[in-house]
Structure 1
Amino acid sequence: MSFTEQLRKENDDIFQLIFEHPFVEGIGKGSVPNEAMEHYIKADFEYLNAFMKIYGIAISKSSNRDDIHYFFNKMKFILDDEIHPHHNFCAYIGVPYEALQGHPLPPTADHYVKHMMYHAQTGTLAETLGALLPCPWTYQEIGKELMKKYEPTESHPFYQWITFYGDTGARNVTAEMRERLDTLAESSSPIEKQHISEAFRKSCELELAFWEMAYTCEEWPSKRKVMK
């Protein structure tokens, strides 16, 4: 069993909770509250901006051009390809994509970004990958699960989103990141592997929390409406 296979096995409980989350199930059923979807897009746009910056940190830690080229291409994937699922959601709620950009991160998304930044700044390249990997991996499996369970056709309101993650580029992103992490793990010490595993586990938890954050339209405490 490879290192990333072991990580997946150890965190199957969280993957299953993500598959069962009402926001994710709503994507499969073709119905998600507009407010939740808008909240998701606002947060995910800024989250992906941070993700690209972490790729930049990884480039600064790369010791060869192959690694630099790899992370550079992953930035391009976010910039050029991963906007398409957002456009699918925007079309569903009837809000221009530009109107949902530049908003402050809700607490959970803010924590998630800082968690990844911490491991990128203080850890090894392998630890950075461990913190990043759950994002593409959970989305790839979400798409795969939804395709299998709901068999969406082109008339499905989220057909583009589901097929993007379940049947196209996301599979390659996940496979390539796993391969890189497996290679780095071969020369990692037991302590480093523990740090990678901890970073991976927390990112899985935060992927689940991100869906909950969007579904409940989570806000900072000072912005919540006080019930009288």
Structure 2
Amino acid sequence: MLQEELKELAAPILDKVRAHPFWSGLRDGSLPGESLAHFVEQDTGYLLPSYARGLARAAAAARGDEYTALLGRSITGTLEARDKLREAYGSLAGELGTPALDPEAAVDPAAHAHSSFFQAATATSFAAGFGALLPMVWFNYQVSNDLLERHTSGSRYAPWIEIYHPGEGYGYAVKAFMGVADRLGEELSGAERAELVDHFAISTRYEWAFAEAAWSRPSWPF
């Protein structure tokens, strides 16, 4: 099954992402508050809206109604998650001792590149677009579960971790996306299948880059 191939391909980077100082700092409470604020600004201000638009383009290019329906539901879910996270951060910032969000925060280079990749991949083909979009679903599920299971109880960011987790029902969406990957693995030509896998592999690296940017908080030099 294609999903097993993709999971094996993603495993080394997923391990690096979970071990990254951004996520480990969230688990134990040592993460600087500025890093969490930067993450939320970039995630809710740029990455999640770009992901939703990528889902929309992929849904329009899908070859089957069941694929369009799944991606269409995910558009709504992504934008609702964006709003939930931004509102929750605003409510928790005082308790967490983190900075207020900057409503005019500029996109950082990593978020710009990640968002541009979604746009380019989904404009290329359905196979390329689906491959590019899939890691965000898979990594979010794995990372948020890891945060919930391994965070230090009572630590600084425990309330945020509870909010950040998308809920048990998210597992059904992940299972549906992986099921689509398996069906596409049988339906696509060899070249299309390779295109999906290649874009999936590139997109997994953007997941690490986004965590690194939240940790280091880069900005444009001009």
Q: TM-score range by the shorter chain?
A: 0.7 to 0.9
Equivalent residue for 1:68? 68
Equivalent residue for 1:226? none
Equivalent residue for 1:144? 145
- Aligned CA RMSD, in angstroms, stands at 2.5
What is the CA-CA distance between 1:174 and the residue it aligns to?
1.7
Give the TM-score, by structure 1 length.
0.84
Q: 1 CA distance for matches of 2:202 and 2:42?
A: 18
Q: 2 CA distance for matches of 1:27 and 1:90?
A: 17
Equivalent residue for 1:113? 115
- Render the CA deviation track for 1:25-84: whole Å, top value 9, x for unaligned: 122113421211111111111111111111111222134443332222111112224533
Question: Residues 50 and 115 of structure 2 are in contact (CA less than 8 Å); yes or no, is this contact kept in structure 1?
Answer: yes
Total equivalences in the alignment:
217
Question: Residues 129 and 177 of structure 1 are in contact (CA less than 8 Å); yes or no, is this contact kept in structure 2?
Answer: no
Q: 2 CA distance for matches of 1:168 and 1:79?
A: 18
% identical aligned pairs? 21
What is the CA-CA distance between 1:114 and the residue it aligns to?
1.1
Equivalent residue for 2:189? 189
- Render the CA deviation track for 1:72-106: whole Å, top value 9, x for unaligned: 21111122245334444444434798x54453321
Equivalent residue for 1:225? none
Flag structure 1 segments of 5+ consecutive residues without an equivalent.
223-228
Equivalent residue for 1:38? 37
- Render the CA deviation track for 1:177-198: whole Å, top value 9, x for unaligned: 1111211121112222221111
Q: 2 CA distance for matches of 1:62 and 1:133?
A: 14
Q: What does residue range 84-123 of structure 1 map to in structure 2 within 5 Å? A: 84-94=84-94, 99-101=101-103, 103-123=105-125
Give the TM-score, by structure 2 length.
0.86
- Render the CA deviation track for 1:113-134: whole Å, top value 9, x for unaligned: 11121110012x2321110111
Q: 1 CA distance for matches of 2:203 and 2:82?
A: 19
